[in-house]
Chains A and B, each alone.
Chain A
Amino acid sequence: GAVVSQHPSRVICKSGTSVKIECRSLDFQATTMFWYRQFPKQSLMLMATSNEGSKATYEQGVEKDKFLINHASLTLSTLTVTSAHPEDSSFYICSARAVKSVEQYFGPGTRLTVT
């Protein structure tokens, strides 16, 4: 069944640098991908929705110039955290949804630590 992978699973970077996180749907085509952020002991917060070949739709309060999302193909979306700061440290989770599907399949998450 539908598998979504994320890479890397963990990343540590220095403040001011940029980090790219990849989200791939391994055995299905995902017309829509979602990026979430999860703070410790809290629920998931939707950051943005991306449809293949078009610009991402960001949720209120999410800086689109800081969190760059690219969904260039039906199996790959990337989230780039630009000029990372310690407050960007978090658990980032992507999900993917196939055509005409109500269900989202979640990736295993990426733990980002900014020092």
Chain B
Amino acid sequence: AQSVTQLDSHVSVSEGTPVLLRCNYSSSYSPSLFWYVQHPNKGLQLLLKYTSAATLVKGINGFEAEFKKSETSFHLTKPSAHMSDAAEYFCVVSDMNRDDKIIFGKGTRLHILP
């Protein structure tokens, strides 16, 4: 069975400092992995996705994530946080070869300190 664990429910960083949001997954097959961002009272926006191509994936707004199969991780990073990055971030795993479902992590709330 697939599962995804976001290790931190809240992360606080100062503006201009690096961001690290951690995600570990479990999948019996080769998964597709995604990061979505949700701003308050808004829908979901895709940041980036991994679908078995390059292991380092670059997304929008300066975010990137690295797929590490040996560590079953897909952590989201950004070199320098901006105030507008404050939001909820969801790590998502999907296995199209097995079923239609995607599994959401519980989310990480990113706080940006001035």
Bound together, the chains give a CA A110 to CA B46 distance in angstroms of 18
Given A102-B32, A102-B94, A102-B96: A42 and B46 within 8 A (CB)? no
Kindly identify which residue among B41, B45, B51 contacts A102, using a CB–CB cutoff of 8 Å: B51
Count: A-B pairs, CB below 8 Å: 44
Cα distance, A46 to B102, chains bound together (Å): 8
Report how far A42 CA is from B107 CA in the complex, Å. Answer: 7
* B74-111 Cβ-contact flags toward A at 8 Å (1 or 0): 00000000000000001000101000111011110000
Residue pair B90, A108 in contact (C-beta under 8 Å): no
- Residues in chain A near residue B100, CB distance under 8 A: 32, 34, 49, 97
Q: How large is the interface on B (under 10, 10 to 19, 20 to 34, 35 or more residues)?
A: 20 to 34
Tell me the count of chain A residues lying within 8 A, CB to CB, of chain B: 18
Decide: A44 near B90, CB < 8 A? Known: A102-B96, A103-B46: yes
| B101 closest partner in A (C-beta) | A46
Q: Which residues of B contact A93 (CB under 8 A)?
A: 43-44
Give the interface of B toward A (CB within 8 A).
32, 34, 36, 41-46, 49, 51, 90, 94, 96, 100-102, 104-107
